[in-house]
Amino acid sequence: MAYKGNTDRIPCSKGGLTGAKNIDDIPNHMMVYPSRNINLEKNGRRKRGGTTLLLSSAYAGAPKILGLYHAYFGDSTDGFILAATADGDLYKDDTNKIATGMGAVMPWSFEMGEDKVFIADGINIPKVWSGSGSAAAISEPAADFSTSPPFQLMVHSRGASKRMCALNEHGIYMSASHASAGDMEKFSTGAEAMFVETGDGYGLVGMVEFGEDIFLFGKKKAYRVDDSSLDTSEWGYDPAQWEGGAANWRLIIKTPNDVVVMADDGEIYSITSVSAYGDYKQASLTRNSWMHDWIKDYVKLTEIDQFHGQYDPALRAIFFWVVRNGQTSVDTALVYFIDRSPEEAWMVHDNQTADSGYKAACSCNVKQISGPHMIFTGDYKGQIWKLNQANRSDNSNGYYAGFRTPNISIDDPRLNKHFNAGRILMSPMGLYNLTAKCWIDGVLASSQDVSMDGGCAVLGTFLLDTDTLGGEAIIDTSFKIGKVGKRIQYEFFNSTANQDFFISGIMTDWKPTGNKQ
């Protein structure tokens, strides 16, 4: 017999994590705490990919990884994954070192130029590595590098000119323009330097190239370098047209058409938006979703020097690795999906019960020739992790992946309703179960396992950016509720290793029963 009543639908093609507190003002497609480990992809919600170890064993002594870099040389296939450790060593693979006795505290910066890797540790004069032998100091360091070593490196191109840029707290140093081998190592002959007084007591903390322009960042202010003239004596810098700086250089993240920055108060903004508004808080990517409140509630901003970010071109998402309140090291990533509107673009990835690639002291983007682009992270125990793997486990360990809806009043929040049943629209992923919980007016009314098999052909595992979800198979599974109340709230999750899910929609069958007297 057909159900005679109303049906409310939650479209899982919409919505992201929100930090909003007003329960009657949150749209039903949004997600609230403890939602996490969901990828917002393919017009639905899917369990995030797993994380796996790159190395068969940790580096000797299990040191913290201070920096990672994918070094790709013209004659190599997939290149090298360089790893800098807190022992002051730089590895080109799991055992072979190309530098020792280097910086053991600050994050390392790497950049490719002249088919060589340039290396800055914030402690020593920068080094270069050609792909063989050991790394060596650059041929012509600036005189200042011995007392104020650079902590960030970046190649900058304008017209036919290409220079290696080195940044310390005082200013930017631009090498000789590349015309022959070795020019990018010259920070004295043919080089230029600009010194910036930020007035905040910290000095410069980062730089980025956007188009042909260089932007320098202090903690509270940004500056645009003007090197457009052919006459270098006319070069200089001006304060950027917006108010707001960056927390550190690892929180200045380039995407295909923008630069996204985390400020030292936890606000996250884009350069394109802030250029229009003039104020980084007005241009915030976290305000519409109330994620700025979520950050205040759950993130330990006093540890922001440990935070870092990376753009994942496969997921088309920016990862901000952060320290949670009550913790002393990074174990969580805020994930911003750039193709969605800011109010519904956010999610959290982590593993709070086992080691994973989210306990990340550093990160890098790996552009493989023989495989998909992916993110690698270095942890605090001498290991390197690969993110967004086709398996759904962290080194064979399970993790909570799920979402909770806000309290949904459906129509009049004063009106009592009979909530008859819930329905989940899913794609078949395997002989797995999804746990479905339901609260009525804050009281747990139901907790049951729902099959994700459905008797359909299983889609199997796939990796975003290389495989296709495919097929029109869909599971429409109902679960009984049978309770009366004003508001309903759901939570759906799976915590079992190597089990997947993809949810495209949720429905609630209900009838009005009248106002409570």
For 407, the token pair is 């309290």
| Amino acid at residue number 475 | I
Q: What is the pLDDT of residue 369?
A: 72
List of residues 6+ apart from 484 with CB closer than 8 A: 416, 417, 418, 419, 440, 513
DSSP state at residue 78: S
Q: What is the pLDDT of residue 78?
A: 75
- Average pLDDT (324-347) is 97
Q: How far apart are CA 315 and CA 373, in angstroms?
A: 10
Q: How far apart are CA 68 and CA 66, in angstroms?
A: 7
For the beta sheet containing 268-270, the strands, ordered from the edge strand earlier in sequence to the opposite edge, are: 252-255, 258-262, 268-270
- Average pLDDT (475-480) is 90
Query: Which is higher by pLDDT, 75 or 194?
Result: 194
Question: Which residue in this structure is represented by tokens 């022959």?
Answer: 180
Residues 424-448 pLDDT 10s:
999 988 889 999 999 999 999 999 9
Within 13 Å and on the Cβ side, how many CA atoms surround 79?
A: 21
- Average pLDDT (157-175) is 96
Q: What is the pLDDT of residue 24?
A: 77
Q: What is the pLDDT of residue 2?
A: 63
**Averaged pLDDT of the chain:** 92
Residue 248 and residue 238 in contact, taking contact as beta carbons nearer than 8 Å: no
Read off the pTM. 0.93
Nearest to 430 by CA among 466, 385, 390, 465: 390
Q: How far apart are CA 111 and CA 128, in angstroms?
A: 9
Residues 366-408 pLDDT 10s:
987 767 789 999 999 999 999 999 999 999 999 999 999 999 9
Residue 507 and residue 423 in contact, taking contact as beta carbons nearer than 8 Å: yes
Other residues' Cβ atoms within 10 Å of the Cβ of residue 321: 26
Write the CA distances from 351 to 39, 283, 331, 333, integer angstroms.
15, 31, 7, 10
Residues 131-164 pLDDT 10s:
999 999 999 999 999 999 999 999 999 988 999 9
Q: Tell whether the model's pLDDT for residue 43 goes beyond 80.
A: yes
Q: What is the pLDDT of residue 76?
A: 63
pLDDT band of residue 462 (cuts 50, 70, 90) is very low
Q: Tell whether the model's pLDDT for residue 278 goes beyond 60.
A: yes
pLDDT band of residue 453 (cuts 50, 70, 90) is confident
Return the percentage of the chain with pLDDT > 70, whole number: 94
* Secondary structure (DSSP) of 203-263: ---EEEEETTEEEEE-SSEEEEEE--SSSGGG-EEEEEEEE---S-GGGEEEETTEEEEE-
Q: Tell whether the model's pLDDT for residue 459 goes beyond 80.
A: no
Which range, of 71-75, 451-455, 473-477, averages the lowest pLDDT? Answer: 451-455
Q: What is the pLDDT of residue 516?
A: 58
Q: Which residues pair with 246 in a beta bridge?
A: none
